[in-house]
A and B are shown apart, each in its own frame.
Chain A
Amino acid sequence: MAKYRAWLGVILVLTIASVVVITKIPTRLGLDLRGGSQLTIQVQPTAAIPTITERELEAVQTVVEGRVNGLGVSEAVVQQLGNNQLLVQLPGVSDPQQAERVLGGTAQLEFRAQRPGTDQQLQIENQVLQGHLGELAALQASRPSNGEINSDTQARIDKLQAEITASEKAVAALFEPSTLGGDKLTDAIARPTSGTLWEVVIQFNSEGGNEFAEISKAIAGTGRTIGIFLDNRLLSAPTVAVQYAETGITGGSAVISGNFTAESARDLEIQLRGGALPLPVEVVENRTVGPTLGRDSIQRSLYAGIAGLGLVLVFMAIYYRLPGVLADIALIIYALITWAAFNLLGVTLTLPGIAGFILSIGMAVDANVLIFERTREELQAGKTLYRSVESGFYRAFSSILDGNVTTLISCLALFYFGAGLVKGFALTLAIGVIISMFTALTCTRTLMFLAISLPQFRRPSLFCPGLTTARPDPVRS
Chain B
Amino acid sequence: MKLNIIQQRSLWWGISGVLVLVSLMAMAISWQQFGAPLKPGLDFAGGTRLQLTRACVATDSCTEPLELAKVRQVLGDQGLDSSSLQLLGEDQQVLAIRTRTLTVDERAPLQSALDEAIGPFDPGSTQIDTVGPVVGKQLLVAGLLALLVSFAGIVAYMSLRFKLDYALLAILALAHDVIITAGVFAILGLVLGVEVDSLFIVSLLTIVGFSVNDTVVIYDRVRENMKLSPGSHINDIVDSAVNQTLARSINTSLTTTLPLVAIVIFGGPTLKYFALALIVGFVAGAYSSIFVASSLLALWRERTGQAYSDDPDLSEAQPETQS
The answer to whether A binds B is: yes
Name A residues whose Cβ lies closer than 8 Å to a Cβ of B: 35, 37, 40, 42, 94, 96-97, 100-101, 104, 282-293, 296-297, 300-301, 303-305, 307-309, 311-312, 315-316, 319, 351-352, 355, 358-359, 361-363, 365-366, 369-370, 373, 377, 390-391, 394-395, 398-399, 402-414, 416-419, 421-422, 425-426, 429
Judging by beta carbons under 8 Å apart, are B266 and A307 in contact? yes
Whether the Cβ atoms of A361 and B134 lie closer than 8 Å is: no
Which of B103, B201, B213, B322 has a CB less than 8 Å from the CB of A403? Answer: B213
Q: Is B69 an interface residue (CB 8 A)?
A: no
Give Cα distance in the complex from A283 to B130, angstroms.
9
A417 with B145, Cβ < 8 A, contacts A300-B267, A303-B266 known: yes
Instruction: Given the known inter-chain contacts A373-B247, A413-B149, please indicate yes or no for A287 contacting B128, CB distance below 8 A.
Output: yes
Distance A104 CA – B258 CA, assembled complex (angstroms): 46
Q: Count of A-B contacts with CB under 8 A? A: 242
Contact among B53, B125, B271 for A355, CB-based, below 8 A: B271
Once bound together, how far apart are the Cα atoms of A289 and B125, in whole Å?
Answer: 7
Residues of A contacting B: mostly: helix
Tell me if B212 and A406 are in contact (CB < 8 A). yes
The list of the 6 closest CB pairs from A to B, nearest first, reads A308-B259, A410-B209, A284-B132, A292-B124, A362-B256, A403-B213
B168 contacts A by Cβ under 8 Å: no
Q: Are A413 and B213 in contact (CB under 8 A)?
A: no
Roughly how many angstroms separate A173 CA and B132 CA in the complex, as a whole number? 38
Roughly how many angstroms separate A399 CA and B221 CA in the complex, as a whole number?
Answer: 8
Taking a contact as CB atoms under 8 Å apart, the answer to whether B146 and A417 are in contact is yes
CB distance from B285 to the nearest CB of A (A): 12
Of all chain A residues, the one with the shortest Cβ separation from B212 is A406
Which one, A304, A316, A370, contacts B259 given CB within 8 A? A304
Q: How many whole Å from B141's CB to the nearest CB in chain A? A: 9
User: A308 and B127: CB pair below 8 A?
Assistant: no
Q: Considering the chains assembled together, what is the distance between the CA atoms of A123 and B176 in angstroms?
A: 73
Tell me the bound Cα distance from A418 to B144 in angstroms. Answer: 10
**Given the known A-B contacts A304-B267, A352-B274, A402-B220, are A287 and B260 also in contact in the complex, defined by CB atoms under 8 Å?**
no
B88–chain A nearest beta-carbon distance, Å: 12
Interchain CA distance A185-B135 in the complex, whole Å: 32
Asked if residues B104 and A104 are in contact (CB atoms below 8 Å), the reply is yes
Least CB distance, A360 to chain B, in whole angstroms? 9
Q: Indicate with 1 or 0, residue by residue over B90-130, a CB within 8 angstroms of chain A CB atoms.
A: 00000000000001110110010000000000111111111
Do B126 and A419 touch across chains, with their CB atoms under 8 A apart?
A: no
Task: State whether the Cβ of B139 lies closer than 8 Å to any Cβ in chain A.
Answer: yes
- In the complex, given contacts A355-B263, A403-B216, A407-B210, what are 18 additional A-B residue pairs having Cβ atoms less than 8 angstroms apart? A97-B111, A282-B132, A365-B252, A370-B217, A399-B217, A402-B157, A402-B220, A406-B158, A410-B206, A410-B209, A413-B153, A414-B146, A414-B202, A416-B146, A419-B138, A419-B139, A422-B199, A429-B206
Most buried by A among B150, B260, B275: B150
In the complex, chain A residues whose CB is within 8 Å of the CB of B258: 308, 311-312, 315, 362
Q: Does B205 contact A (CB under 8 A)?
A: yes
* Interfacial chain B residues near A416, Cβ < 8 Å: 146, 149
Is A361's CB under 8 angstroms from B132's CB?
A: no
Cα A303 to Cα B265 with chains together (Å):
9
B135, A409: Cβ atoms under 8 Å? no
Flag B226-268 by CB within 8 Å of A: 1 or 0 each.
Answer: 0000000000000000001101100110111111111101111
List residues of chain A with CB within 8 A of the CB of B132: 42, 282, 284-285
Give, as a whole number of angstroms, the nearest-CB distance from B237 to chain A.
Answer: 16
* Alpha-carbon gap, A293 to B208, bound state (A): 31
The listed residue (B146, B202, B323) touching A352 by CB distance below 8 A is B202
How many Å lie between the Cα of A416 and that of B150 in the bound state?
11
Complex CA–CA separation, A413 to B258 (angstroms): 26
Take A304-B259, A418-B142 as given contacts and tell me if A288 and B126 are in contact as well, using a CB distance cutoff of 8 Å: yes
Note all chain A residues with C-beta closer than 8 A to B323.
390, 394
- Cα A359 to Cα B127 in complex, Å, equals 26
Q: Does B131 contact A (CB under 8 A)?
A: yes
Q: Once bound together, how far apart are the Cα atoms of A94 and B123, in whole Å?
A: 9
Instruction: Give the docked Cα–Cα distance between A409 and B170 (Å).
Output: 15
Q: Does B198 interact with chain A (Cβ within 8 Å)? A: yes
Set of chain A residues within 8 Å of B244, measured between Cβ atoms: 377
Task: Report B-chain residues with C-beta under 8 Å of the C-beta of A409.
Answer: 150, 153-154, 157, 209
What chain A residues lie within 8 Å of B145 (beta carbons)? 417
Query: In the complex, are the beta carbons of A369 and B149 less than 8 A apart?
Result: no
- Beta-carbon contact of B198 and A421 below 8 Å: yes
Residues on B with beta carbons closer than 8 Å to the beta carbon of A37: 128
Would you call B278 an interface residue if the criterion is a C-beta within 8 Å of the partner chain's C-beta atoms?
A: yes
A390 contacts across to B, CB distance below 8 A: 322-323
Q: Contact check: which of A284, A292, A403, A413 meets B122 at CB < 8 Å? A: A292
B37 interface residue (CB < 8 Å to A): no
Q: Is B161 interfacial (CB 8 A cutoff)?
A: yes
Given known contacts A359-B256, A359-B259, is B128 in contact with A412 (CB within 8 Å)? Answer: no
Determine if B154 and A406 form an interchain contact, defined as CB atoms under 8 angstroms apart: yes
**Would you give 19 A-B contacts (Cβ < 8 Å), ordered by A?**
A101-B104, A283-B104, A286-B130, A287-B130, A288-B129, A293-B125, A304-B266, A305-B259, A308-B259, A312-B258, A358-B260, A359-B206, A369-B252, A402-B217, A405-B157, A406-B157, A406-B209, A409-B154, A410-B154
